[in-house]
Structure 1
Amino acid sequence: MQLTSSRALRAHMPYLLRIILGRFGRLSALHGSLLGIGVLGVLISVVGFEDGSLVPLLLGLGGILASLIGILTQIVEDWQRVSRIYRDSRISPFDAAYAAPYDGWSRLHFNEFSSVHSEDVDARLRSDPDIPLQIEPGLWDVPAECEGVRRLVRVLLDFDDDKIRLADDLLPDTDRVRVQKTQYSAHVVTNLLGEVMLREQRRRRELVSSEAVLLRNGTIPRLRYSSCSNHLGVDVVAVTTSGRVVLTLQGDKNDTNQGMLAASGSGSMDWKDLRRCPDLLRLVKSTMLREMSEELGLRSRDAIGLGDVRVLRYVRVTNWGGKPQFCGVARLGEVNEEVRGIERRYHRDHFSIDFDPEGTAGDFATTVRGYVEDHAKRISFPLYETLDVLCTWLERDADAWSWLMTR
């Protein structure tokens, strides 16, 4: 029992350290003032009086002690609350209608999940347009009712990276895209509420009301009116010229789709991805390349460029409260994929859909769709969506197959 407790303590030490640093990093007005006055009193007693009075020293030490006791009490309270927080999976995926203009978009369904997309937007993205980025100042703040929970939840995260939030809608006539900095923890207490409910042990009510955050007037709103983080995500499948569609198997550390087959690269845009990316398509492609290279363990000899990536579809994912995502495909030579480094925490293995590279686009689509049908229970929704648009593109665009098989 003692050994088990010792292991548990070591496992939770990072969480406790984050709580301590977090509390000292945002001292309350009372405890911060007491600590400041206490330190000042000690300094005065050391250098300020020659008569040897102990009053400033005693007052200073008292102030420091009182502030430390108060801070320690807050740390204990935070630790107790963090220890009781858990994610309660929804019985069925979140679903709701969209506000205009998204109510007129096409909806795709698979395994109870769904998303919406616009054929006009998709066609425009495939033409590789120049859509400049407009960076909004400051960090996006979550709704007030979510902030306290966000601070607690972020303690449990391995990372709380800065992400790129889509601050306004991407529509067929959009000539500029507004983006803003957000944090991954903001996603956990907003968009992710479409998949899980944050609860506290022994309490049935949610810490944050999912519907209040995800919906506006009973529908999933336009991005400009959304209360969600809405950070941009990508899913890209790698197709090799030797005849393989490379897939990844998600690990247990992933927030979603644990143990499911996913695209060759899937993830979200980091704020640092904005470097040297003045327009939307360059940003999307660069992120797809980064995610795919990390998750397949590609080495320098496997290097590919932006010209080997095509953005095929833009979607809003319903079970994530309308979170914006991009789907794409990358053409590769033969690669030896490997789960390396920190990626071992999030990915278990790689699989592939084998096809005849000497065949036709129709043959490819038949093979891929047959694989999806045979492995439907293991296919994650983002992977299904990406494979679906890839097959549709190859069937409809006469030049798509030759582009995909030429490198």
Structure 2
Amino acid sequence: MRKLLRRARSKADYTWFLAVREWPVLVSALGVLLGAITILPSAVGVAISVIALLLGTATFVRDFRNLRQRWSSHEFSLIAAPFPHEQLPPPAAYPDAAYSYLPNRGTALLSDEIDRTLRDRTFTVRLADEPYRLPPILRATAPHVLPIRARGRLLFNGPVVGLRTDPLPGSGEAEVVLHRARFFDFQCSNELCAMRITNRETGEDLDPRRRLLTDASGRIRPLTASILSDVVGISTLAFTTDGKLLLVGQSDRNTASPLLLAPSGSGSLEPRDLVDAEGTERPTLAEVLRTGMERELCEETGLSPETIASTELTGFARWMERGAKPEFFAVTHLSVSSTEVRDTAPRGAERLYSSDVTALEVDLPALSAELRAGTPILEAPSLPPVIRDVGSLPLLLALRAVGLFCQDAPR
């Protein structure tokens, strides 16, 4: 019954999202229905109702044909090729930024200087008054994109939080702006960058990555100039008291990393992470991120909040294949051993997307030394083979961040 209800909710979210954007067709259909049910047993009533029915039917047929033509005039296909990072320079404001391409996982935009800034500088938080709205160019493609993204998956249009500013180096406190969004906004904006659009009549191709992600100079846009929802991704690596790393297997329903290993807690920032139990707004970005990461950790592993000793931010990246969305990473220290968490499992809705929880030995000091010497994460000898084979992009980036964090942290 629980799975049936979740499928019904997913279908309802999907239908409502499309209905809001195609309301003229629904109004025409309603006119046809009203014309049909108001035919009265009198000559005048019959005549008026028949005329209304015919007019409503003609309008509905016209709108429906226009809708089908509009939906079928372009072909949407998923891009299998890697992100063209060699052709698109990073934002000029990102210090010493570089791309990291991990085969079969994805491409990340990284800056070690931003990682250090994230740990050392205080960023206060301001929530934008207006929620994110799809701009006209994205509203037009939304009815095409969402059916492709939803095919074979359970998607819910839940509330999420996006980032409008970049956590850049500087002196003193700095403010970052967040905005409220919905998950389908992300699917129809950032995730559009994983598709190629082809005009069936002219054969012309449109690569949304270049149109949506780059500025006039051809560089990747900073978040301050983005028109996408830029939902905040959050991931943390949880280590037990005996040094084991908890990993979460992803089910085939997961949209980002199906059948791969994910960090101990991984997901999206949500509005509930912005406030404490009394409803008071959390003042800093670090507090907001830690709250979201620890929530995801408890949901995906089944751990209770009481088992969390501390969480420290370690890094930042932008996931290029997913519309250069922002991703934050952390390391969490638990107050329990791997034996005590042996029987934990994902909770609630997370059971749809996460399959199991495992504890793995990772030689973090050795990994840190290898990364410090310039060894790429996938080539590091101390990286466990299972992570090298089936580790997701967030997991590999989180391990890189925690490895370099251990290098920078006081001993």
Q: TM-score range by the shorter chain?
A: 0.7 to 0.9
- State how far apart, in whole Å, the 1-side matches of 2:20 and 2:160 are: 25
Contact 2:28 2:60 in 1 (8 A): no
Match of 1:284 among 283, 289, 313: 289
Gaps of 5+ in 2: 1-6, 277-281, 371-376
Q: Counterpart of 1:395?
A: 407
SS state of the match for residue 252, structure 2? coil
- Using the TM superposition, give the Cα deviation of residue 24 of structure 1 relative to its aligned residue in structure 2, in angstroms: 7.2
Q: Is the CA contact 2:31–2:56 (under 8 Å) kept in the aligned structure 1?
A: no
Residue in structure 2 matched with residue 362 of structure 1 by the alignment: 365
Query: Counterpart of 1:268?
Result: 268
Give, in angstroms, the shift of residue 31 of structure 1: 6.9
Decide whether the 8 Å contact of 2:76 with 2:145 is kept in 1: no
Deviations 1:268-288 (A, max 9, x none): 112333233332111101110
**1:123 pairs with one of 110, 116, 124:** 116
Change (3 A) 1:69 1:21: farther
Identical amino acids, percent of aligned pairs: 21
1:91 partner amino acid: A
Q: For residues 269 and 384 of structure 1, do their structure 2 counterparts lie closer, same or farther at Cα, with a shift above 3 Å needed? A: same
Match of 2:225 in 1: 225
User: Secondary structure in 1 aligned to 2:137?
Assistant: helix
Which residue number corresponds to residue 110 of structure 1? 102
Q: After superposition, what is the alpha-carbon deviation per residue over 1:254-299, rounded to whole angstroms, capped at 9, x for unaligned?
A: 222222222111111123332333321111011101111111122x
Cα distance in 2 for residues equivalent to 1:14 and 1:201: 31
Q: CA deviation at 1:236?
A: 0.8
Q: How much does 1:363 deviate?
A: 4.8
Report the CA distance shift for 1:340/1:204 in structure 2 as closer, same or farther (over 3 A): farther
Aligned match for 2:48, one of 50, 59, 80: 59
In the aligned structure 1, how far is the partner of 2:8 from the partner of 2:56? 25
Q: How far apart are residue 396 of structure 1 and its match?
A: 3.0
Tell me if the contact between 2:301 and 2:345 (Cα under 8 Å) persists in the aligned partners: yes
AA at the equivalent of 2:126: Q
Question: Aligned runs of 1:297-376 on 2, under 5 Å?
Answer: 297-298=302-303, 300=304, 303-304=306-307, 308-332=310-334, 333-334=336-337, 335-336=341-342, 337-355=344-362, 362-363=365-366, 365=368, 369-370=380-381, 372=383, 374-375=385-386, 376=388
Q: 1:165 aligns with which of 137, 162, 165?
A: 162
Query: Which secondary structure state, in structure 2, belongs to the residue aligned with residue 100 of structure 1?
Result: coil
| CA apart distance, 1:109 | 4.2
| Cα pair 2:314 2:402 within 8 Å, conserved | yes
Report the CA distance shift for 1:22/1:114 in structure 2 as closer, same or farther (over 3 A): closer
Contact 2:163 2:231 (8 Å CA) reproduced: yes
8 A contact 1:94–1:318 mirrored in 2: no
Tell me, yes or no, if the aligned pair for 2:362 and 2:384 is still in contact at 8 Å.
no
Corresponding residue of 2:279? none
* Superposed counterparts of 1:199-218, under 5 Å: 209-217=208-216, 218=218
The range that moved more, 235-244 or 337-346, is 337-346
CA contact (8 A) 2:109 2:320 kept: yes
Larger Rg: 1
Aligned to 1:88: 78
C-alpha contact 2:261 2:390 (8 A) present in aligned 1: yes
Name the TM-score, length of structure 1 as normaliser.
0.75
CA RMSD in angstroms, aligned pairs only: 4.2
Give how far 1:88 is off.
Answer: 1.8
Contact 1:191 1:230 in 2 (8 A): yes
Match of 1:296 in 2: 301
Change (3 A) 1:392 1:25: closer
Give the equivalent residue in structure 1 for 2:239: 239
- Please say if residues 238 and 332 of structure 2, whose CA atoms lie closer than 8 Å, have aligned partners that are also in contact: yes
Of 71-80 and 205-214, the range deviating more from structure 2:
71-80
Give the counterpart letter for 2:275 in structure 1: R
Question: Deviations along 1:192-232, whole A, 9 cap, x unmatched?
Answer: 24444467999976687332122222221121212322111
3-state DSSP of counterpart to 1:180: strand
